Amino acid sequence: QVTAKTAFLFILPQYNVSVPTADGELVQYHYGLKDLVTILFYIFIAIILHAVVQEYALDKINRRLHLSKVKHSKFNESGQLVAFHLTSVIWCLYVVVTEGYISNPRSLWENYPHVYLPYQVKFFYLCQLAYWLHALPELYFQKVRKEEIPRQLRCIALYLLHIAGAYLLNLTRLGLILLLLQYLAEFFFHMARLVYFTDENNEKLFNVWAVVFVVTRLFTLTLYILVIGFGLPRVESQALDPERGNFFSFLFNNILFRMSVLLLVCLFQASVMWRFIHFQLRRWREYWNEQSSRKRAAAAGSTKQQTKLLKRDSGYHENGVVKAENGTSPRTKKLKSP
């Protein structure tokens, strides 16, 4: 029995409370230090699942494709992220639909702070934190190149900052919608990379990703403006109350602070869009350069072929000797001296 209690500490979310509702009592959860133990357990689970995907799926495909070392590393990275993002998109979509966050957008800021969480929301956040924390030791296990480590560390840090910030500041509902949008765009990007590695002439999925990326950025910016600009300033409790989990809603009652935050959000989204546009322009420029080089090569090949045909049309071959059209040899005959 003592062992079972210890096992539950690792496996199940802690800090459950009974919240009275109109239909009776509802069991919900809040966060605490014991969550670190649960996250640690699921870090090991994520490492095991990572190894299973690598061993039974990605390695077998790599052996057939015979990729270079650079492409091999990128293929493994995209393969792992495709599996994770697809699972997370389906799971997150199920959570936001069943909890009614999409059908009722006001629930994103109503009754803030959202201290008490449903079981599936808390478990989703714990698993997300465990996955991105497991990515740190995987940099060593996967023998990632030194040039790629800063980029991947920056990506991991941004995800951890977003997920942990939404979890600790009781903005879990907004965080779920933003994660859903981000993971959807990332899924199409890494799926396009996998298709490109198998067939370098197939870049159609990159166009799909470009459309999804732009749409998700617009939805993300709209959500920020809706929640920060209009939602949180209307929260009833505007006083600083860390015990109730109300950390900063009183700040959004100040229009100067609210506009400063929205300006920072817009600048960040603008920088993301600028990098995206720069990437697309570079890709299109490389594509058109490749097409023009192919046309020049085809034109040069057709010119050489026409030249050969002209040479052959000047005479015909008979027994290995070029003869003119009247049957005489094109070579001038030498007169014999008497």
List, for residues 115-129, the tens digit of each pLDDT value: 889 999 999 999 999
**Do residues 77 and 165 make contact, with C-beta atoms less than 8 angstroms apart?**
no
More confident residue, 213 or 26: 213
Q: Which one has a higher pLDDT value, 81 or 197?
A: 81
Residue recorded with tokens 């027994």: 319
Burial of 251 (0-12, 13-18, 19+ CB in 10 A): middle
Q: Does the pLDDT value for residue 201 go beyond 80?
A: no
Stretch 273-296: mean pLDDT: 82
Which range has the worst mean pLDDT, 134-148, 152-166, 240-254? 240-254
Omega before 13 within 30 of 0, i.e. cis: no
The reported pLDDT for the residue numbered 316 is 46
**Euclidean distance between the first and the last CA atom of the chain, given in angstroms as a whole number:** 127
Cis before 137 (ω within 30): no
3 state SS of 89: helix
∠ CA 200-283-61 to the nearest 5 degrees? 25
Q: Residues 82-124: pLDDT tens digits?
A: 999 999 999 999 999 999 998 888 888 888 878 889 999 999 9
Q: Where does the pLDDT of residue 309 fall: very low under 50, low under 70, confident under 90, or very high at 90 and above? A: low
| Domain ranges across the chain | 1-211
Residue 104 — φ and ψ, nearest 5°? Answer: -130, 85
> Span 148-156, mean pLDDT?
92
What is the average pLDDT value for the chain, to the nearest integer? 83
Radius of gyration (C-alpha) of the chain in whole angstroms: 32
Most confidently predicted of 52-61, 181-190, 323-332: 181-190
pLDDT of residue 239: 61
Given this model, what pLDDT does residue 247 score? Answer: 61
pLDDT at position 337 is 45
pLDDT at residue 77, rounded to an integer = 92
- CB atoms under 10 Å from CB of 316, counted, come to 12
